[in-house]
Chain A
Amino acid sequence: MVVSALMLFALLLALGLGLMSSQSARMKAARAQVEALQAKGLALSAWADAKTKLGKDLFFPPVTGEQNHFSYSEDVYNQDEAGQPVFYGTYSVVIDTRYIRSQRDQGLTLGTDSLVNVPVGFYLITCTGKVGERGAPPRSERTLRIELDAQTFRVIRLHDLSSL
């Protein structure tokens, strides 16, 4: 009787462990998918941030001399239940200005060109979103590479360098 009870217990234990381990693997896969999408969201936030700055500020990116790249990074915070900011991830932007030239904007007549230089050519923008704790390797990362026509302000090419 005791042996039967022990065998039954062992069988139930094996069934329970099997069920729990399969659920655990599913939860891990689901969490990885969510974090991959969050990283993509951060990369898209980087693009929206860079596009806004380029569209509103004639002196952005502030490159001087022979410098042909400008990069910056922003931390992104979430709120916990108490409303306190919690570090969530980062996004970074690298703007390649090798294909950008500056020329005087056209005035109302050919004889009175504007005194303002405007960018002509293409911005090559790399936007990266990273999810994870500060100081630790990112749990998820996504990179978008965008080519923007500086005159028409249209995206002529977007390449998603990584996916799930």
Chain B
Amino acid sequence: MMALTGVILFMVSRLISQTMTSLKFLQEKSRTLESATLGLERLSAEFQEAIALNSTSPLSFEKVNLSAPEALANPVDEPLPATNWKRSYTSDFAGTDQTGTVIFEQTSNETLERQVSFNSANFTTVVATNVNDFVVEQAPSTESGQTGNNVFRITLTMQEQRRAISFITILTVPGLVQ
């Protein structure tokens, strides 16, 4: 009887131990997936706001300040198509540069960082951790053929325990010339 109880208790302890291992693995996998998805989503959402591309490695582009006035603060009540209306956010109607630079770069400690510079303000945030590789390809070839210069394939490779998983997104940036 005692031996049987011992066997049962041993099997229960093994069961609990294996379940905990499985839950930990699933949690790790889920965290990797969420980190990659959110990182790519955040990156692609911001990259689609680009109005000029500086480089793809590291990914560096210009975008308009979110608080910039609409239509470059051109006088909406002016009746005629004014020849002095401004057309680029690098100098709006008041002469203010409303553009800033955003850089996404993989650092040496396996994180994907976002560096933003607007006028004299600079700040850095971490977009994703456990990043194994980060590649941006301009005008990639897809199954449907060669794409334009405003199309990008972004590959984010994450390190998950002993394996690396790649997440790929393809996006169009409307503000860049095709």
**A residues neighboring B (CB under 8 Å):** 4, 8, 11-12, 15, 18-19, 22-23, 26, 29-30, 33, 36-37, 40, 44, 47, 98-99, 101, 103, 120-122, 124, 146-147, 149, 152, 154-160, 163-164
Contact = CB atoms under 8 A, between A and B. Distances in A.
Given A4-B8, A155-B51, A164 B81 contact: no
Given A4-B8, A22-B27, A156-B88, 5 more contacts: A44-B172, A121-B74, A121-B85, A159-B66, A160-B46
Nearest to A8: B12
A122 B74 CA distance: 10
Given A8-B8, A98-B76, A158 B49 contact: yes
A47 B175 CA distance: 12
A99 B76 contact: yes
Contacts of B142: none
B175 A157 contact: yes
B14 interface: no
Nearest to A7: B12
Contact of B64 (A23, A103, A157): A157
B45 A154 contact: no
A149 B87 CA distance: 8
Interface centre among A8, A23, A99, A120 (most CB of B within 10 A): A99
11 contacts: A15-B15, A26-B26, A33-B37, A36-B41, A47-B174, A156-B87, A156-B88, A157-B64, A159-B64, A163-B41, A164-B38
Interface residues on B, range: 35 or more
Contacts of A26: 26, 30
Contact of B49 (A4, A11, A149, A160): A160
B48 A158 contact: yes
Interface in B74-96: 74, 76, 79-81, 85, 87-89
A11 to B, nearest CB: 7
A11 B11 CA distance: 12
A93 to B, nearest CB: 14
B165 interface: no
Contacts of A164: 37-38, 41-42
Contacts of B30: 26
B7 interface: no
A13 to B, nearest CB: 12
B174 A158 contact: yes
Contacts of B81: 101, 103, 120-121
A47 B30 CA distance: 33
